[in-house]
Structure 1
């Protein structure tokens, strides 16, 4: 089993290459390009991360009264989105703002955001029987990640030329965490506070992932998770869930700037460690679930309808057994199965018209393929 990531961070991906695909490296510096190949490691990472996403979204419905579930919820929220963001950053290294890349950004991120933002708004109106205006500036529910990804990727050329990209992004994130009232429009508080993970991904090289896949690191990663679970169980009564969402400033959470920055700094370090541990444990070879990693966008945008739809229909309120220990296990397993099904190639093909539309009619035919 080859566990090393075979992409050179200094070599841009070939034109038209799908996100997540890699060149096959042979020797020291020579590469045989395989434009249609995908690195199974990243698809595996995305599949496991999307499973954590659905667990994080379904557990609030059954979390009441369970300290253990609350602790696991905090554990998941510590690193599941940073994993997605870091991997997205790594796979965005070749983005330079070329017309063809902008087209893919518009069709693969902006179009799904617009379509599903409208859909979730209408769905919320139906489910809550309350009016919610359609506003692309105020993402509904889980749609914040798509608009954040659009903003982050647009800024990629800047991070490629700035001298200290990670330090700069950390300064921006710190300022965002102590600046109240910036989180509403485009979820800018989240966009800026999660920014360092995207920039970290941009800055990483293949050897960094190869290091994470070394046996001693993987053993240490198991120890990290084994220690994190009881630690968060112990801390659950004293930690606010809002710390993990990064959607507010420290002042809005009722904490002084000094203490708030200290807590945010500790949380950031813990997130880095858990993210690294997670990526260390991801298998690097092709498995039965590898192909599902290519369909995580479908699972992401669709699973919210399932969870909120069941909530609107009163499933969790009318069945108190689901909030018992056996019920939580059933809910979790059902959510994992549902997410797996939503990531299948069949669903991906069915949603291709909105998640991967061609839209040739929307772009100028004389637009240059490359920058001069």
Structure 2
């Protein structure tokens, strides 16, 4: 599982001025010279991204621990039901202005494609040598571990002009997701099952407006979210021995999960409704004011892509096999440790170290926009 991220994977400035949910702090004056001050970031979206990425990392640490713990498996199922949908919805919301222009395409290449190539290669090599798996191949067509979110974001964003031109994009996206769930022949290339099955959440994000987020942040919704999550946890506890948790990964068709074909579309609709409800409840609890962690929301892609090395490294070393970690105290300790680790990975010092591969400038690879060059010369001469 991601994957994601991210939101997994997947910058909350004013939507009119910003379309990339993972751009994180780099000055855009090089891309678009302007005398206007930078748009003020929205604390709510930064907070939501940070909290979502913490849940992603913690849930990844639960995977090798959950074993026979029915409570942890239920919590794992609940988190997987909404953490990626929340991140993808935010990604879609801040992709609304993607129009395929040269500037947007440049940002897509430098902010998504290049990190995908780098980390797909890095994770494959890490598994080959750290896990002593000489057969592990490097394949840009078969995303490994959590890099799927980057290739999914690339595909989703490239199709944004199509979705924004349709009258009813969400029903179309849901239809595509339902068809994907009964199409095992899609295969594993580019993790297209996940790309297509998570697509409705991205398209929903494209369709949302700021007032929709304000609606779910009302006090009445925050209060209602308490019994909703309580019921969801109880239902998940009941469902653990009765349901295949792989449905929440959205990476397989119904046939691959040994289910009748018609179960795929039904599960797509059921999971979309469930995930949307839990995501709305999650958003209702996200603070809208500036918090101590708000600034970390600008570095969630760093936390997402880097925390996987910690989780996989610990797994390869067998650290999760120690018996004390498989009790309540050990599970809580691991969760706290991973939350602290991913928090540190979102900080400015880490971002400065890895910015060259996360947000490369790559001016050498792109032609300069003659209009902008002319405008810059006019401002200098003035």
Distance 2:52 2:20 in 1: 25
Whether contact under 8 Å (2:54, 2:342) holds in the other structure is: yes
Partner of 2:49: 46
Partner of 2:28: none
Q: Name which of 249, 257, 261 aligns with 2:253.
A: 249
Distance 2:46 2:161 in 1: 25
Whether contact under 8 Å (2:85, 2:198) holds in the other structure is: yes
Return closer, same or farther for 1:200/1:275 CA change in 2, 3 Å cut-off. Answer: same
Gaps of 5+ in 2: 1-11, 26-35, 374-382
Gaps of 5+ in 1: 22-32
Partner of 2:195: 191
1:123 counterpart = 2:155: no
How far off its partner does 1:261 sit? 2.5
How far off its partner does 1:262 sit? 2.1
How far off its partner does 1:137 sit? 0.5
Distance 1:119 1:56 in 2: 22
Whether contact under 8 Å (2:173, 2:199) holds in the other structure is: yes
Q: Which string of whole-angstrom CA distances, capped at 9 and with x for unpartnered residues, describes residues 150-199 of structure 1?
A: 11011111111112111111111111111013240000000000000000
Distance 2:128 2:47 in 1: 36
Q: Name which of 297, 307, 310 aligns with 1:306.
A: 310
How far off its partner does 1:246 sit? 0.5
Whether contact under 8 Å (1:99, 1:368) holds in the other structure is: no
Q: Which string of whole-angstrom CA distances, capped at 9 and with x for unpartnered residues, describes residues 218-272 of structure 1?
A: 1111221121111111111111111000000011111112233223321221111
Return closer, same or farther for 1:361/1:136 CA change in 2, 3 Å cut-off. Answer: same
Return closer, same or farther for 1:193/1:6 CA change in 2, 3 Å cut-off. Answer: same
Partner of 1:271: 275
Distance 1:356 1:40 in 2: 22
May I ask how many residue pairs the two structures share in their alignment? 351
1:347 counterpart = 2:350: yes
TM-score of the two chains, using structure 1 as the length reference: 0.90
RMSD: 2.1
Partner of 1:79: 82
Q: Which string of whole-angstrom CA distances, capped at 9 and with x for unpartnered residues, describes residues 36-68 of structure 1?
A: 421111010000000110111110111112000
Whether contact under 8 Å (1:182, 1:188) holds in the other structure is: yes
Q: Which string of whole-angstrom CA distances, capped at 9 and with x for unpartnered residues, describes residues 263-313 of structure 1?
A: 332122111100111111110111000001110111011011001111111
1:149 counterpart = 2:170: no
